Structure formats: structure tokens, C-alpha cells
Chains A and B, each alone.
Chain A
């Protein structure tokens, strides 16, 4: 009974310790959904998850049904044939586009997570007791992974919180997620990335990365940055066009102010609306740039916006002007014919 009393007192102290810790950890939100931002930095600057930004990005991504539903490696089933009236066909196409929109759900773009350096106890008595670290994981089923207690007792006696990599590994050991490996796939090494990019398989790399890493881990951000850089260098934007990664690519380029290649590509493919919305997104994200202020003062829209952008901001203005002229010529020919 006395033991129970002491144990209860220590539980009291531990629960106090537990109440201290969650405030230091990230706020409770499942990573796969769009988090409402709790940190109020950059009040003026729009975030990736703003509805206006998301709207523009979904419009630019496009909805090529043929590409979204292209055959993936699955179990072979014989095809089914249905006899439909044209109305039923329209309904079926409508349902398919709904399904495609669900598949094109963009993964969130979050700032890089800060490393955990929290030491709970230093027990110098335990120095040299063990040659290995002891990692303690809390396997209670009903707490979200972000709030789980994972502590490490070092051989020199310090009890510290586990680093993000250790946390990811332990959570994968005890709560395995399908497709995720304990140590990351060899494809994420730099030499292998170059090889895979030369084979035009950026989408596969990004899919693997999405499964393997958390969206705010440094590996995820590095791999995505490398992929987007490579795509920008070679102008292969079409590879990602109707996939869920296109929004991330557009956001990355807009934040880095290097949208010229993408605009040229859109004009070549005669997607004027997309180019216009991209420029408007750029003005939303960088409201203090010259072209944004010019556009706001002139209340421009459509090709006017593009022309203002080419004059003020872009580094490859010649290219964009040429592309614009070619596009106008083609549209004139079409309207004439």
C-alpha cells in the first residue's frame, strides 16, 4: 500500500512532466490533411494552403483523364464493357472526373521541421552502465504519431527525446505503413537521382518520396527541390502536368521567382488561361514586386498581365514575347479559318 502511495505521487510528477512536453512539440494535426497554420509569421504572404492559392494551383494542374487513369501495375482483370446512352456516358465521365480530382489531392508543402534537442534528465550515476542506447517508445494506439513519447537513454546516462529520424524509424517499426521502408530507398542518393532523372521518371521518384518521408522532413524537401530543379533545367514540365505534384512544382518556382520557363511552356501548349493564372499567383505571393504593383495600378487582366510581367520581372523576356507573338498569330489564324 505504501508502494502504491509512492507510485501515485510519482505518477503525479510524471503527469506534470507530460503536461510540459506537448507544448514544445508541434500542434496536433494529422500531416496528411491541410493544417490550419497556427504560427502567424508572414501574415501578408499567402501560404500554400490558402484557398485562393489552392484554387489557382488546381486550375493550372489540369485534368487529363487519360493520364490520371493510365494503367498502373495492378492485378489483371478482364475489361468490362457497358452499353450506355449518351446521357449515361456523360454521367460516367462526370463521376470519373470527380474520382480524378480526389486522386489529384496535392500533398502539403510545409516548412522544414526544427530538430529536437530536448534533454529530460542527466543521470551521471549511470555513466558506462551500458554500451548501447536504449530507445523507449510509447505504443498506445490512440495517440497521434506526432505526440508519441519516444525517449532515448544514452550510455552516459542522459535521457533525451529522440531526434526526428529516430522517431520516424521507431514509428515505422511499431506502426508500419505500407510502402515505407525503415532505411530510405537507395534511389534517393544523389547519383541515383541523376540517373533516374535522365530516364524521365520524376513522377515515380516523387511518389516514392511521398510514401517514404514526412512532408516537413529535410529529406523530403531536398528530394523535391532536386526534382523541381532538374525539371526546370530541362523544361520537362509536361511530365508532371496532370499529377498531384504539379502544384508543388508551381509553388516552388513561384517562391523562387523563376516562372519564365513554365510560362514559355504554357504558351507553346496554347494554355493562355493557365499562364495568366500563374502570373496572378505570382503577384499574390510577391505583392511588393514591380510587376505586381504595376498590374494592381492598371487593373490588368489576360494578355495585358502577361505583357506587364514580361516587361517588368522576367529574365528571359525575349523568349516570352516571342512565344506571346506566336500564340497571338496562331489564335488569329484559327479565328480567320
Chain B
């Protein structure tokens, strides 16, 4: 016999609440749009959540802006209740100024800068070679 109660009341043993990004609009391919959501940890990523706390649109609009919204009042409430934000949400909150900057944001920035410097150092060596090749051909 299937225990109907376990299907209807998904209370978790040892579960906790997280603030994470959930993908919305799954019927449209190649157009991501995230909802910032307070949900139980065990739930599916796009499944039933407790409350929506904001949105994140990763594609820039005609004014070259990526729109992000936060309901700071409710985020404060959920963090007060003991919800954990995930890494991307923590990064976004850091960029917005609500949290301090996430260490991974700074690390990524430093890594990117190191890579840029490497490519710039490589370029001046390549360009005289290319110039010579063009002259020959």
C-alpha cells in the first residue's frame, strides 16, 4: 500500500532552507531566466519553492543592463530563519552591496587579470612575426 501521507506532506528529516537560483520559463530554449527563491534543500531545482525573493536575468537588454531584483526585506527574514544562500546568490548579493564581495568573485577577477596579462605579453611577440609573414607573402 502506498502511504499517501508521505506523498502529500514533504517534510524533510534534517532538511534546511536555501536561497538559490531556480530556472524559470523552461519551455523556451536558449533564453535563461532565474528566480531567486527560498526553497527546501531537497526539492528539485525548478520545483515547488517556499517563496520567491527576486529575479535574475543573465542576458543584457537594449541598454546593456542585466536586471536583478531582490526583496531585501524577505531575504533578511529568511536569513534570520537560518536559510543558506548558495554560491551564485551570495556572489550576486555581494555585487549588489548587500553582502561583502564574495571571495570567489575576487579570485575570479584576479585570475582573469593574470590571464589578460599573459595574453598581452604573448601578443607583442606574435605581431612582429605576423608582420614578417605578410611581407614575405
Chain A interface residues toward B at CB < 8 A:
7, 10-11, 14, 17, 120-121, 123, 125-142, 149, 151-153, 159, 166, 169-170, 173-174
Closest to B110 in A: A125
Are B73 and A151 closer than 8 Å at their CB atoms? no
- Residues in A with CB closer than 8 Å to B96 are 134, 136, 151, 153, 159
Q: Is B109 part of the binding interface, using a Cβ–Cβ cutoff of 8 Å?
A: yes
Q: Is B101 part of the binding interface, using a Cβ–Cβ cutoff of 8 Å?
A: yes
Q: Is B108 part of the binding interface, using a Cβ–Cβ cutoff of 8 Å?
A: yes
Measured in the bound complex, the distance between the Cα atoms of B76 and A10 in whole Å is 12
Measured in the bound complex, the distance between the Cα atoms of B112 and A131 in whole Å is 13
> Which of B12-20, B37-45, B60-68 interfaces with chain A?
B60-68
Measured in the bound complex, the distance between the Cα atoms of B76 and A135 in whole Å is 20
Measured in the bound complex, the distance between the Cα atoms of B95 and A138 in whole Å is 14
Measured CB to CB, the closest approach of chain A to B116, in angstroms, equals 7
Are B108 and A132 closer than 8 Å at their CB atoms? no
Chain B interface residues toward A at CB < 8 A:
54, 60, 63-74, 76, 79, 95-101, 105-106, 108-110, 112-113, 116
Instruction: Kindly list 19 other residue pairs between chains A and B, CB separation below 8 angstroms, not including A128-B112, A138-B70, A139-B69.
Output: A10-B99, A14-B98, A121-B97, A126-B105, A129-B109, A130-B66, A132-B64, A132-B65, A133-B60, A133-B65, A133-B66, A134-B68, A135-B65, A138-B69, A139-B71, A140-B74, A151-B96, A159-B96, A166-B65
Measured CB to CB, the closest approach of chain B to A128, in angstroms, equals 7
Main secondary structure of the interface of A (DSSP, over half): mixed
Measured in the bound complex, the distance between the Cα atoms of B55 and A136 in whole Å is 10
Q: Which of A133, A141, A142, A149 contacts B64 (CB 8 A)?
A: A133
Are B99 and A123 closer than 8 Å at their CB atoms? no
- 29 pairs, A vs B, C-beta closer than 8 Å: A7-B79, A7-B99, A10-B99, A11-B76, A17-B97, A121-B97, A123-B101, A125-B101, A125-B109, A126-B101, A126-B109, A128-B112, A129-B105, A130-B66, A132-B60, A132-B66, A133-B60, A133-B64, A134-B96, A135-B68, A136-B70, A136-B95, A137-B67, A138-B70, A138-B71, A139-B70, A139-B71, A153-B95, A159-B95
Measured in the bound complex, the distance between the Cα atoms of B44 and A242 in whole Å is 61
Measured in the bound complex, the distance between the Cα atoms of B72 and A139 in whole Å is 7
Are A142 and B98 closer than 8 Å at their CB atoms? no
Q: Which of B66, B105, B112, B113 contacts A135 (CB 8 A)?
A: B66
Measured CB to CB, the closest approach of chain A to B93, in angstroms, equals 9
Measured CB to CB, the closest approach of chain A to B17, in angstroms, equals 14
Are B69 and A10 closer than 8 Å at their CB atoms? no
